[in-house]
């Protein structure tokens, strides 16, 4: 491996990386070598993916590690041009873990392990490592990943939980020209506030409820916090936001939250995912959302394989009985 694997520049990396033909071929070959089943053999699937990760092309590893170290200019990194392989019909719900068995999802897993360790969450997509993020007619108007009729509002993934993922990874099997994925960095947010208000954003002035997708496991009326919206280094802040679940504990705090959301809508980055895209979202540095769209429910709708990555696997060990890969919801 080249001695120059780490890029020397301190600048954030660009949002898009178009795979070269060599990178595309090498990544597809690695995906085909990942033989374990992600639904029935999640631990073996992760071990195999992690063993394959060092064999990624050096150019791609450089890009991924730079994204881990410095983030990107939008909060996401999109790898464009992966081989999707043969595709099944888009399922009508997320019960089957269908997308995780595709060639694209297997490549997604190899890439994901360059940033950390894949985990599942019992309350998310039936605990699958790779969840089918598809429009569900029964959930069309909800603030859940299977919604479509309404915009998925700005949020940090699992903002209410200390075991939230560090990265959210979306592999696009089928796209929809109407469905834009939004992202906005905490660093860019901070630039829109004067010093006095910015100082307030670093204070613990906001509480959050538990997401409705956890309703079978946790009391969604439970109030958690208070938390700050921004924290950490002002030059590389961590961001915590949820438009649907978060509330300010003072009038000023609530007004600041509303302004945060106004800035997000005015300045967010939009990516319309294409088949063969893998989008990596930095869940610490950026909030995200998705536009509404109009599915047909005919087997050809938008089909995303979603995975979660944590940098430190040991941190959630107590919440994964037996050392398995699924974080139990009661610990979230």
* Spatial separation of the C-alpha atoms in residues 82 and 20, rounded to whole Å: 10
How many CB atoms are located within 10 Å of the residue 66 CB?
21
Per-residue pLDDT at 9 = 59
What is the average pLDDT across 62-79? 97
What average pLDDT does the segment 190-211 reach? 97
Query: What would the pLDDT profile of 203-250 be if each residue is shown by its tens digit?
Result: 999 999 999 889 889 999 999 999 999 999 999 999 999 999 999 999
Rounded to the nearest 10°, the torsion over CA 67, 70, 72, 73 is: -170
- C-alpha to C-alpha distance for 251 and 249, rounded to whole angstroms: 7
pLDDT reported for residue 4: 40
Cis before 154 (ω within 30): no
- pLDDT recorded at residue 145: 73
Cα–Cα distance measured from residue 293 to residue 54, given in angstroms and rounded to the nearest whole number:
38
Give me the pLDDT at residue 146, please: 66
Q: Where are any strands of DSSP class E within 150-267? A: 152-155, 167-174, 180-185, 206-208, 224-227, 230-231, 238-239, 246-248
Mean pLDDT check: name the lowest of 30-44, 148-162, 223-237.
Answer: 148-162
The whole-number average pLDDT for the span 51-79 is 97
What secondary structure letter does DSSP report for 205?
-
Question: 6 falls in which pLDDT band (50, 70, 90)?
Answer: very low
Q: Which tokens is 96 given?
A: 């089957």
Distance of alpha carbon 115 from alpha carbon 300, whole angstroms:
31
pLDDT at 281 over 80: yes
Q: Are 133 and 127 in contact (CB under 8 A)?
A: no
The tens digit of pLDDT for each residue in 12-24 reads: 999 999 999 999 9
Mean pLDDT lowest among 122-136, 146-160, 217-231: 146-160
pTM for the complete prediction? 0.95
71: left (phi over 0), alpha (psi -120 to 50) or beta: left
pLDDT band at 5 (very low <50, low <70, confident <90, very high): very low
Average pLDDT score over the chain = 94
């Amino acid at each position: 491996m080249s001695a120059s694997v780490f890029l020397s520049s301190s600048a954030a990396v660009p949002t898009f990386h178009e795979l070269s033909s060599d990178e595309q071929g090498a990544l597809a070959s690695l995906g085909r070598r990942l033989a374990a089943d992600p639904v029935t053999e999640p631990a073996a699937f992760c071990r195999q993916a992690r063993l394959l990760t060092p064999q990624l092309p050096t150019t791609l590893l450089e890009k991924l590690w730079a994204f881990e170290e410095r983030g990107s200019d939008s909060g996401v990194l999109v790898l464009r041009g992966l081989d999707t392989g043969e595709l099944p019909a888009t399922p009508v719900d997320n019960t089957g873990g269908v997308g995780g068995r595709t060639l694209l999802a297997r490549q997604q897993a190899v890439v994901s392990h360059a940033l950390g360790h894949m985990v599942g969450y019992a309350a998310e997509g039936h605990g699958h490592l790779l969840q089918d993020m598809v429009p569900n007619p029964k959930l069309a108007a909800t603030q859940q990943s299977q919604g479509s009729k309404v915009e998925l509002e700005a949020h940090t993934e699992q903002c209410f939980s200390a075991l939230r993922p560090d990265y959210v990874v979306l592999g696009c099997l089928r796209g929809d020209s109407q469905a834009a994925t939004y992202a906005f960095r905490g660093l860019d947010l901070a630039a829109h506030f004067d010093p006095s208000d910015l100082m307030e954003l670093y204070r613990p002035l906001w509480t959050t409820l538990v997401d409705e997708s956890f309703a079978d496991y946790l009391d969604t009326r439970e109030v958690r916090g208070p938390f700050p919206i921004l924290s950490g280094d002002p030059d590389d802040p961590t961001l915590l936001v949820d438009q649907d679940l978060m509330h300010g504990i003072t009038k000023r705090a609530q007004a600041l939250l509303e302004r945060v959301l106004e800035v997000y809508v005015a300045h967010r980055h939009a990516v319309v995912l294409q088949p063969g895209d893998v989008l990596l979202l930095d869940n610490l540095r950026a909030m995200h959302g998705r536009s509404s769209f109009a599915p047909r429910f005919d087997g050809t709708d938008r089909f995303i394989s979603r995975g979660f990555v944590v940098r430190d696997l040991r941190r959630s060990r107590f919440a994964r009985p037996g050392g398995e890969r699924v974080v139990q919801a009661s610990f979230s």
